[in-house]
Amino acid sequence: MKRAIPVLVLSVAGLIPVWRYAPSPDTGSSSSSATEAAAPASTPSASSSGGSTTTVVAGSTLDTEKGPVQVEVTFDGDRIASVRMLRQPNHPQTTAAVPQLIEETLQAQSADIDTVSGATITSDGYKESLQAAIDARG
């Protein structure tokens, strides 16, 4: 009897995460295309400080098989100063791929970068959203 209560409490504690689990939303598409819908890129917002112009542009949101992908690009003059993921799939491959994609973007200063192996769908969505942000900036 002394062991029954801890076993019961631990069993319930182990089941709580199972009950709270929410699977990622299914796009419900059997399309082979990675992009299903692309929202237009946002208009650039600019600020000037000390002679250089900083512009922040959000790329279009792409609905991929793994989930939505959207980037935000900060330009310092004509250079890509930083890239931030606004929306990304909740996947281990995506989590590992995003830093590589951002690093390659900063080195290449364009959307002409390599796809990360194991995260092809996310990489393709990233590159499309990045290109949309670059195009929106003009």
CATH of the domain at 74: 3.90.1010.20
Going residue by residue through the chain, which has 138 residues, state the pLDDT in tens, using 9 for 90 and above: 778 888 878 887 887 777 776 665 544 444 434 444 445 555 555 555 555 688 899 989 989 888 899 999 999 888 999 999 999 888 888 888 999 999 999 999 998 999 998 888 889 999 999 999 989 887
Q: What is the pLDDT of residue 27?
A: 44
Does residue 112 form part of some domain?
yes
**Which residues, other chains included, contact 37 with Cβ-Cβ below 8 Å and sequence gap of 6+?**
62, 63
- Smallest CA-to-CA distance from 46 within 38, 37, 36, 56 is with 56
Does residue 2 form part of some domain?
no
Does residue 38 form part of some domain?
no
Residue corresponding to tokens 């900060």: 74
Q: What is the pLDDT of residue 48?
A: 56
Residue corresponding to tokens 């019961």: 8
Q: What is the pLDDT of residue 137?
A: 82
Among positive and negative, which fits the CA dihedral 22, 118, 58, 49? positive
User: Using a CB cutoff of 8 Å and minimum separation of 24, what contacts does 110-113 make?
Assistant: 110/80, 110/134
Answering whether pTM is above 0.75, one says no
Q: What is the pLDDT of residue 31?
A: 40
- Smallest CA-to-CA distance from 111 within 81, 80, 86, 87 is with 80
Which residue range is the domain that position 127 belongs to?
54-137
Does residue 21 form part of some domain?
no
Domain count, the chain: 1
Q: What is the pLDDT of residue 35?
A: 40
Does residue 10 form part of some domain?
no
